């Protein structure tokens, strides 16, 4: 028999190889996104309607004289930014966690998990698509919704806002990966649990109101949500024109969330994967 020739399999991959492997997940999600364009239209319409519906509340309060002048404009911007950020972060969380549910549903999870891809590349690749997808969807919602309101963005500091969005997105990735653990562990209940995680984030992060409004117990929980800092600093940058140094504390907190949560969530996902393999839970669901 001829001598078998095959390169010795690598134990660890270079950063370049990992980037390339991670990009494969971005490509796959892009292909899936193109095939499900009708759903994308549905979510876009939902996002626009939600943004308009919430922000019109501020318009009515202004029309009835409950809030006046500058305050009315600020309230409209406050709610507009809240709804847009909510659309953005829910798209990120959905994309990362639902892809696991989807893979379980299609039965492809076994093939994905047995591919020689480090879990870091797999999950970060999925997260990068989530962030890009959320950016595109939220930008479209903004472009469609903005003409309905006469908002003054002349004071906005766009450079600071862009930096906040970049750091804030990284801070949310860990949460998205953690939400993806649930469908991996509980094929039948995981998706519902992911939505519950999202609803708690919605409640405590000050999406439609300031976290100061919350009762003390919930306010304490709000400090554990990276979305709290994203919303607070983004409003500060877009409404008050805050500079990077003005929002430095929030940026540092969000960066700390990213530094802690991303490795932690990948470790938790890997532990959950191991448990799923131990208990034989990776088989097709659906």
Partner 1 sequence: MPPRSAASLPSVSRPLVVRDISKTFTPGFRAPWSRKQPRRVRAVDDVSLEVQRGSIYGLIGANGSGKSTLIRILSSLVLADAGEVRVFGFDVERDSMQVRQLINRVSADPSFFRQMSALENLLFYGRVYGLDGAEVRARSNAILDRLGLDGGHRRAMVKELSRGQQQKIAVARAFLTSPVLMLLDEPTTGLDPRSKREVQTFVREVQRDHDATILLTTHDMDEAEALCDRIAFLVGGRIVAEGTSAELRAAVARDRPVADVDLEDVFMALTGKTVEEDEEEVILNG
Tell which residue, 115, 96, 247, has the closest CA to residue 168.
Answer: 247
Q: Does 36 bind partner 1 (CB under 8 A)?
A: yes
Question: Is 125:21 a contact under the CB 8 Å cutoff?
Answer: yes
- Residue 7 carries which DSSP code? P
Distance CA 275, CA 15 (A): 28
Among 41, 45, 46, 111, interactor with partner 1 by CB under 8 A: 111
Q: Does 6 bind partner 1 (CB under 8 A)?
A: yes
Among 2, 15, 150, 216, interactor with partner 1 by CB under 8 A: 2
Q: Which is nearer to partner 1, 85 or 100 (CB)?
A: 100
Among 66, 107, 249, 263, interactor with partner 1 by CB under 8 A: 107
Size of the site for partner 1 (CB under 8 A): 44
Count helices and strands in the chain by DSSP H and E runs: 10, 0
Tell which residue, 265, 268, 239, 234, has the closest CA to residue 251.
Answer: 234
Q: Which is nearer to partner 1, 24 or 146 (CB)?
A: 24
Query: Taking the CA of residue 119 as centre, how many other CA atoms within 13 Å lie in the half-sphere pointing to its CB?
Result: 19
Q: Does 16 bind partner 1 (CB under 8 A)?
A: no
Among 16, 31, 151, 230, interactor with partner 1 by CB under 8 A: 31
Structure tokens at 231: 């919303």
Q: Does 117 bind partner 1 (CB under 8 A)?
A: yes
* Sign of the CA dihedral with 139 first, then 142, 147, and 152 last: negative
Question: Is 92:172 a contact under the CB 8 Å cutoff?
Answer: yes
For the CB of residue 191, give the shortest distance to partner 1 in the complex, in Å: 16
For the CB of residue 260, give the shortest distance to partner 1 in the complex, in Å: 25
Q: Does 68 bind partner 1 (CB under 8 A)?
A: no
Residues at the site binding partner 1, with contacts judged by CB under 8 A? 1-12, 17, 20-21, 23-25, 27-28, 31-32, 35-36, 102, 106-108, 110-118, 274, 277-280, 282, 284
């Amino acid at each position: 028999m001829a001598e078998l020739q095959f390169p010795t399999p690598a134990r660890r991959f270079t950063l370049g190889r990992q980037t390339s492997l991670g990009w494969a997940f971005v490509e796959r999600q892009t292909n899936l996104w193109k095939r499900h364009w009708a759903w994308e239209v549905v979510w876009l319409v939902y996002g626009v309607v939600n943004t308009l519906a919430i922000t019109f509340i501020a318009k009515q309060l202004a029309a009835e004289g409950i809030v006046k002048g500058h305050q009315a404009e600020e309230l409209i911007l406050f709610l507009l930014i809240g709804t847009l950020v909510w659309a953005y972060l829910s798209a990120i969380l959905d994309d990362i966690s639902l892809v696991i549910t989807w893979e379980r549903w299609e039965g492809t999870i076994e093939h994905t998990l047995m591919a020689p891809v480090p879990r870091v590349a797999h999950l970060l690749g999925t997260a990068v698509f989530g962030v890009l997808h959320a950016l595109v969807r939220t930008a479209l919602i903004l472009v469609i919704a903005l003409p309905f309101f006469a908002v003054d963005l002349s004071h906005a500091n766009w450079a600071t806002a862009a930096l906040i969005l970049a750091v804030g997105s990284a801070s949310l990735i860990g949460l998205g990966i953690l939400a993806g653990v649930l469908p991996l562990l509980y094929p039948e209940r995981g998706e519902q649990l992911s939505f519950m995680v999202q609803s708690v984030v919605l409640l405590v992060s000050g999406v439609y109101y300031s976290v100061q409004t919350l009762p003390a117990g919930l306010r304490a929980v709000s400090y554990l949500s990276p979305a709290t800092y994203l919303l607070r600093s983004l409003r500060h940058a877009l409404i008050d024109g805050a500079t990077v140094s003005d929002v430095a504390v929030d940026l540092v907190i969000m960066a700390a969330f990213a530094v802690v949560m991303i490795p932690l969530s990948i470790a938790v996902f890997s532990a959950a994967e191991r448990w799923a393999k131990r208990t034989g839970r990776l088989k097709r669901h659906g």
